[in-house]
A and B are shown apart, each in its own frame.
Chain A
Amino acid sequence: DTGVSQNPRHKITKRGQNVTFRCDPISEHNRLYWYRQTLGQGPEFLTYFQNEAQLEKSRLLSDRFSAERPKGSFSTLEIQRTEQGDSAMYLCASRQGNTEAFFGQGTRLTVV
Protein backbone atom coordinates (compact mmCIF):
# COMPACT_ATOMS: atom_id res chain seq x y z
CA ASP A 1 0.00 0.00 0.00
CA THR A 2 1.52 3.28 -1.09
CA GLY A 3 -0.51 5.60 1.09
CA VAL A 4 -3.37 7.97 0.35
CA SER A 5 -3.76 8.63 -3.36
CA GLN A 6 -5.51 11.64 -4.86
CA ASN A 7 -6.43 12.25 -8.47
CA PRO A 8 -6.00 14.38 -10.39
CA ARG A 9 -3.01 16.19 -8.92
CA HIS A 10 -3.87 19.37 -10.78
CA LYS A 11 -7.09 20.63 -12.32
CA ILE A 12 -7.68 23.84 -14.23
CA THR A 13 -11.29 24.63 -14.96
CA LYS A 14 -13.37 27.53 -16.19
CA ARG A 15 -15.68 29.32 -13.83
CA GLY A 16 -19.09 27.70 -13.80
CA GLN A 17 -17.88 24.20 -14.67
CA ASN A 18 -18.26 21.18 -12.41
CA VAL A 19 -15.22 19.28 -11.14
CA THR A 20 -14.79 15.99 -9.29
CA PHE A 21 -11.81 14.81 -7.31
CA ARG A 22 -11.07 11.31 -6.12
CA CYS A 23 -9.36 10.04 -2.98
CA ASP A 24 -8.23 6.48 -2.43
CA PRO A 25 -7.41 6.04 1.27
CA ILE A 26 -5.14 3.46 2.82
CA SER A 27 -7.09 0.25 2.39
CA GLU A 28 -7.86 -0.67 5.98
CA HIS A 29 -8.66 2.88 7.10
CA ASN A 30 -12.28 3.42 8.07
CA ARG A 31 -12.12 7.21 8.56
CA LEU A 32 -11.69 9.64 5.70
CA TYR A 33 -11.39 13.43 5.77
CA TRP A 34 -11.40 16.22 3.21
CA TYR A 35 -9.57 19.49 3.93
CA ARG A 36 -9.09 22.63 1.85
CA GLN A 37 -5.90 24.67 1.90
CA THR A 38 -5.64 28.14 0.38
CA LEU A 39 -2.43 30.03 -0.21
CA GLY A 40 -0.79 31.15 3.01
CA GLN A 41 -3.19 29.24 5.22
CA GLY A 42 -3.28 25.92 6.96
CA PRO A 43 -5.72 23.22 5.89
CA GLU A 44 -9.35 23.72 6.90
CA PHE A 45 -11.69 20.83 7.62
CA LEU A 46 -14.46 20.24 5.09
CA THR A 47 -16.05 16.88 5.82
CA TYR A 48 -15.57 13.49 7.50
CA PHE A 49 -16.66 9.93 6.73
CA GLN A 50 -16.68 6.90 8.94
CA ASN A 51 -16.97 3.99 6.55
CA GLU A 52 -19.62 5.09 4.05
CA ALA A 53 -21.43 7.47 6.40
CA GLN A 54 -20.77 11.19 6.10
CA LEU A 55 -20.92 12.18 9.76
CA GLU A 56 -19.62 15.74 9.82
CA LYS A 57 -19.69 18.69 7.43
CA SER A 58 -18.14 22.09 7.94
CA ARG A 59 -20.07 25.32 7.50
CA LEU A 60 -17.43 26.01 4.83
CA LEU A 61 -19.02 23.35 2.67
CA SER A 62 -21.56 25.23 0.59
CA ASP A 63 -24.44 23.60 -1.29
CA ARG A 64 -22.23 23.48 -4.37
CA PHE A 65 -19.97 20.94 -2.68
CA SER A 66 -20.89 17.30 -2.28
CA ALA A 67 -18.84 14.35 -1.10
CA GLU A 68 -19.49 10.65 -1.21
CA ARG A 69 -17.85 7.47 -0.07
CA PRO A 70 -20.15 4.91 -1.63
CA LYS A 71 -18.69 1.63 -0.39
CA GLY A 72 -16.60 2.90 2.45
CA SER A 73 -13.49 2.79 0.30
CA PHE A 74 -12.65 5.62 -2.13
CA SER A 75 -14.27 9.03 -1.85
CA THR A 76 -15.20 11.73 -4.33
CA LEU A 77 -15.56 15.46 -3.80
CA GLU A 78 -17.60 17.32 -6.39
CA ILE A 79 -17.81 21.07 -6.79
CA GLN A 80 -20.63 22.36 -8.96
CA ARG A 81 -20.63 25.72 -10.71
CA THR A 82 -17.07 26.48 -9.67
CA GLU A 83 -16.12 30.00 -8.59
CA GLN A 84 -12.71 31.63 -8.49
CA GLY A 85 -12.82 31.45 -4.70
CA ASP A 86 -12.83 27.66 -4.95
CA SER A 87 -9.22 27.75 -6.16
CA ALA A 88 -7.27 25.86 -3.50
CA MET A 89 -5.49 22.63 -2.67
CA TYR A 90 -7.95 19.91 -1.68
CA LEU A 91 -6.39 17.39 0.71
CA CYS A 92 -7.67 13.99 1.67
CA ALA A 93 -6.61 12.14 4.80
CA SER A 94 -7.42 8.71 6.20
CA ARG A 95 -6.95 6.93 9.49
CA GLN A 96 -7.96 3.74 11.24
CA GLY A 97 -9.79 4.51 14.45
CA ASN A 98 -7.87 7.06 16.50
CA THR A 99 -4.48 6.37 15.00
CA GLU A 100 -2.39 8.84 13.03
CA ALA A 101 -4.03 10.49 10.02
CA PHE A 102 -2.17 10.11 6.73
CA PHE A 103 -2.55 12.81 4.10
CA GLY A 104 -2.51 12.53 0.34
CA GLN A 105 -0.55 14.88 -1.88
CA GLY A 106 -3.65 16.85 -2.70
CA THR A 107 -5.46 18.09 -5.78
CA ARG A 108 -4.67 21.67 -6.74
CA LEU A 109 -7.69 23.34 -8.31
CA THR A 110 -7.38 26.53 -10.34
CA VAL A 111 -10.57 28.21 -11.49
CA VAL A 112 -10.06 30.69 -14.33
Chain B
Amino acid sequence: AQSVTQPDIHITVSEGASLELRCNYSYGATPYLFWYVQSPGQGLQLLLKYFSGDTLVQGIKGFEAEFKRSQSSFNLRKPSVHWSDAAEYFCAVGVVMEYGNKLVFGAGTILRVKS
Protein backbone atom coordinates (compact mmCIF):
# COMPACT_ATOMS: atom_id res chain seq x y z
CA ALA B 1 0.00 0.00 0.00
CA GLN B 2 1.11 3.53 -0.63
CA SER B 3 2.51 5.47 2.31
CA VAL B 4 4.73 8.40 3.23
CA THR B 5 7.07 8.44 6.21
CA GLN B 6 8.48 11.58 7.75
CA PRO B 7 10.85 10.28 10.43
CA ASP B 8 11.25 13.54 12.32
CA ILE B 9 8.25 14.80 14.27
CA HIS B 10 10.05 17.97 15.40
CA ILE B 11 13.17 19.72 14.16
CA THR B 12 14.74 22.82 15.66
CA VAL B 13 17.27 24.87 13.73
CA SER B 14 18.92 28.21 14.31
CA GLU B 15 17.99 31.10 12.09
CA GLY B 16 20.42 31.23 9.19
CA ALA B 17 21.33 27.55 9.45
CA SER B 18 20.63 25.03 6.74
CA LEU B 19 17.64 22.70 6.86
CA GLU B 20 16.86 19.23 5.60
CA LEU B 21 13.52 17.53 6.21
CA ARG B 22 13.35 13.86 5.39
CA CYS B 23 10.64 12.06 3.46
CA ASN B 24 10.43 8.45 2.34
CA TYR B 25 7.60 7.08 0.25
CA SER B 26 6.23 3.70 -0.71
CA TYR B 27 4.41 3.54 -4.04
CA GLY B 28 4.49 0.92 -6.76
CA ALA B 29 4.37 3.24 -9.75
CA THR B 30 6.31 6.32 -10.75
CA PRO B 31 5.59 8.75 -7.94
CA TYR B 32 4.31 12.26 -8.13
CA LEU B 33 5.74 13.91 -5.00
CA PHE B 34 4.86 17.09 -3.18
CA TRP B 35 5.89 19.19 -0.22
CA TYR B 36 3.31 21.38 1.51
CA VAL B 37 3.65 23.84 4.37
CA GLN B 38 0.98 24.59 6.96
CA SER B 39 1.15 27.54 9.33
CA PRO B 40 -1.06 27.55 12.44
CA GLY B 41 -4.71 28.07 11.54
CA GLN B 42 -3.94 28.03 7.84
CA GLY B 43 -4.52 25.66 4.99
CA LEU B 44 -1.81 23.82 3.12
CA GLN B 45 0.39 25.72 0.69
CA LEU B 46 2.31 23.91 -2.02
CA LEU B 47 6.07 24.47 -1.81
CA LEU B 48 7.16 22.31 -4.72
CA LYS B 49 6.36 19.20 -6.71
CA TYR B 50 8.13 16.49 -8.68
CA PHE B 51 6.47 14.82 -11.62
CA SER B 52 9.35 13.79 -13.86
CA GLY B 53 12.61 15.03 -15.33
CA ASP B 54 15.26 16.79 -13.29
CA THR B 55 15.43 15.15 -9.88
CA LEU B 56 16.31 18.42 -8.15
CA VAL B 57 13.26 20.66 -8.05
CA GLN B 58 13.06 24.24 -6.98
CA GLY B 59 10.13 25.66 -5.11
CA ILE B 60 8.89 28.81 -3.52
CA LYS B 61 10.48 30.59 -0.56
CA GLY B 62 13.95 29.28 -1.43
CA PHE B 63 13.13 25.60 -0.86
CA GLU B 64 14.34 22.74 -3.01
CA ALA B 65 13.91 18.98 -2.92
CA GLU B 66 15.76 16.07 -4.44
CA PHE B 67 14.07 12.91 -5.68
CA LYS B 68 16.18 9.78 -5.19
CA ARG B 69 14.47 6.75 -6.64
CA SER B 70 17.03 4.30 -5.27
CA GLN B 71 16.32 5.50 -1.74
CA SER B 72 12.59 6.18 -2.22
CA SER B 73 13.24 9.61 -0.78
CA PHE B 74 12.22 13.18 -1.50
CA ASN B 75 14.02 15.33 1.07
CA LEU B 76 13.32 19.03 1.41
CA ARG B 77 16.19 21.47 1.85
CA LYS B 78 16.80 25.13 2.40
CA PRO B 79 20.29 26.65 2.67
CA SER B 80 19.41 29.37 5.18
CA VAL B 81 16.32 29.24 7.36
CA HIS B 82 14.34 32.36 8.29
CA TRP B 83 12.22 32.73 11.42
CA SER B 84 9.13 32.91 9.20
CA ASP B 85 9.79 29.34 8.03
CA ALA B 86 8.58 28.00 11.38
CA ALA B 87 5.58 25.85 10.47
CA GLU B 88 4.58 22.25 9.87
CA TYR B 89 5.77 20.59 6.67
CA PHE B 90 4.05 17.70 4.94
CA CYS B 91 5.39 15.41 2.26
CA ALA B 92 2.82 13.74 0.01
CA VAL B 93 2.63 11.28 -2.85
CA GLY B 94 -0.02 11.44 -5.57
CA VAL B 95 -1.89 8.15 -5.82
CA VAL B 96 -4.04 7.05 -8.73
CA MET B 97 -7.55 5.87 -7.86
CA GLU B 98 -10.05 4.30 -10.21
CA TYR B 99 -11.64 7.61 -11.23
CA GLY B 100 -9.08 10.19 -10.22
CA ASN B 101 -6.16 10.71 -7.93
CA LYS B 102 -5.57 11.74 -4.35
CA LEU B 103 -2.75 12.80 -2.09
CA VAL B 104 -1.37 10.52 0.62
CA PHE B 105 0.39 12.59 3.26
CA GLY B 106 3.04 11.88 5.83
CA ALA B 107 2.44 12.76 9.47
CA GLY B 108 4.33 16.01 9.15
CA THR B 109 7.45 17.60 10.63
CA ILE B 110 7.14 20.63 12.87
CA LEU B 111 9.96 23.10 12.27
CA ARG B 112 11.01 25.42 15.06
CA VAL B 113 13.45 28.23 14.35
CA LYS B 114 15.49 29.66 17.18
CA SER B 115 17.10 33.05 17.04
Contact = CB atoms under 8 A, between A and B. Distances in A.
Interface of A: 4, 31, 33, 35, 40-45, 48, 50, 55-56, 91, 93, 98, 100-106
B90 interface: yes
Chain B interface size, as a band, is: 20 to 34
B43 A104 contact: yes
In the A-B complex, the 8 residue pairs with the smallest Cβ-Cβ separation, listed nearest first, are A42-B105, A55-B99, A103-B43, A103-B44, A45-B102, A105-B43, A56-B97, A42-B90
Interface of B: 4, 9, 36, 41-46, 49, 90, 92, 97-108
Contacts of A41: 107-108
A105 B108 contact: no
Contacts, number: 56
A106 B101 CA distance: 21
Q: Is the interface of A mostly helix, strand, loop or mixed?
A: strand
Given A41-B108, A42-B4, A42-B107, A48 B43 contact: no
B43 A50 contact: no
A44 B3 CA distance: 11
14 contacts: A31-B100, A33-B102, A35-B103, A43-B90, A43-B105, A45-B104, A50-B99, A55-B100, A56-B97, A56-B99, A56-B100, A91-B43, A100-B46, A100-B49
